[in-house]
Amino acid sequence: MSTDNCILGRQTFPPPLRSPGSSKSSTRHSSNGSNASLPTIAEVPEDVDTQGDPYVKIGFHGVLESSYCTGFAILAAIGGFALGYNQGLMPVSLITEQIITQFPQIDLNFLAAITQLGGFLGALIMGSVADHCARKRSIGIAAVVFISGFVFQTISMNYTMLVVARLVGGIAIGMLSVITPIYISEISPPEIRGSLLVLTDVLIALGTMASFWISVATGHMDGEEIWRLPFVFLVIPGLILGIGAICMPFSPRWLASRFENQQALYCLSKLRQLCPDNCKVQNEWMEIRVEVAYQREITEARHPLLQGKSYINGIKLELQLWLDCFKTRYWYRTHVGIGVMFFQQFVGVKALAYNVPILLGTLGVSIDIQIATPGIFAAVHLLGALTCLWTIDTFGRKRVLISGSSLMLVCLIIIAGLNSKFSDNWSSHPDAGWCCVGISILCILAFGASWSPVSWALPSEVFPSTLRVKGGALSACSYWLYDFLSSLVTRSLFSKSKWGTYAFFAGFCLLSAFWAAHFVPETTGRKLEEIYKLFGDTEELVREGQKKTDIRRTLANEYAPEPFISPGGTPTNGFRFV
């Protein structure tokens, strides 16, 4: 293939390819009815394995090879850094003598709950915003809210202002917890999509670690700077994310959903670092368009009376799309998204973070080391997440989750046994105490290498294009809800029995392994448009596959009808199934 036309810096397209044996013109009708010259998809025969020619290799080599896409994935993952920084900031900066003196009524648990409430609300908001705005614009909006919230936290003059600022900051974090993995999943090549999605968790762990050590470094200052300065640093990732959002490419899948097909092809070719007329790019571009046309038809068939362009119809359709996530066709996907977040919070990590500093105190460790424990855990978490950059696409999501659950189960059983025997007198059995600490660190490592990163990856993969943001939003909402509930449960259980608490979470580890083995779909290596094959019964899959094949063949044969306009005025690219 000639490289003369591989000029990706401008929105220019090479002479269109033709279908095999075709001599027709490749002029097509655009979504607004005007003629536009678009490259034609060369139809791939049914007996040809289109997966046999990947964009890049799996693993680190592929991540480095796809440098353009990886760079923007890292930029988007700064939203994860903001989330981790915010979470790591709470335990250290808000319990200093200076802030307690200025705000004597401060309640750390209440402020944490306010942040979690903000995260829940922000996730719901983003579930609607990201479908109407571009993905990159949604990131920019979240960055502006994020900067506003933490500027007000920095300059808070009274407790009410601090609480409101924490709520606004939580809303921004909640918005980013939805849109960050969605954007990364939609721009990534299927071979390294998992690795790039893991970057979200890598940056979360890095943000948690950075916020902790920055808070420790400012802890030697006098005056209000001891707690205000760590908030100032939060503006930096917000500014990087906000400015970076301007430079980010649009999601080609979002552009296709708006029938901006030429721009979708242009963005896709830049992300893949290939010419627009490259067969792999052309084939993926076609599959994206087929998916958009099919999902739009499904939506119109399910909600035919809500297609009018009135404000009321728009609100009703938006609510119906939220409800569709819980209906028969999609409930399994929603269950996967919510379930993976549930087990992320209930496999015992909160218990370790809560009890290990106390255990270190009974072993005679200095108060400085006890305070440093969250920072050490964050570093171990980061190390585990870095290993997942390779394992998630090499071994698959299911194996990573099952392996993580199994190792954590063994760790928690041992910790429960040690606590049942020695927790009343750790000082007399220091060897057992340090063994407990070491196994706790191993458990954190297993969590960081499995459930933590994979839980951010799966929800952004399993939903179809029309419900991807709403499904991701429901998963993120469940994350914030379960984060709140797990904190309450952990504190309540520890007040009754330490070993019983670890046994309780060990039971959830066992349950999580069973759930991952029997209910989690293996999305590794599949394009987002192929995920539907993992859900539904055989008859439904055959019917859906046949309809998509019909659409693809029609486009490949250069059938160019005028765009069909539904009674509600919705263009469907000329395809309508009854």
Coil/strand/helix, residue 238: helix
pLDDT of residue 95: 57
- Tell me which residues of the chain have a pLDDT lower than 70: 1-52, 90-98, 223, 537, 555, 557-578
pLDDT of residue 215: 80
pLDDT in tens, 103-133: 778 777 888 899 999 999 999 999 999 998 8
pLDDT of residue 41: 38
Residues 6 or more apart whose CB falls under 8 angstroms from that of 469 comprise 126, 127, 130, 131, 178, 179, 182
Reading the block at residue 563, the tokens are 């765009």
Alpha-carbon distance values, 177 to 140, 173, 374, 465 (Å)? 13, 6, 22, 18
Q: What is the rounded CA–CA span in Å between residue 79 and residue 414?
A: 36
Alpha-carbon distance values, 297 to 130, 194, 461, 560, 566 (Å)? 21, 29, 21, 18, 10
Q: Are strands 27-29 and 35-37 parallel, antiparallel or unpaired?
A: antiparallel
pLDDT of residue 94: 54
**Number of neighbours of residue 550 by Cβ within 10 angstroms:** 14
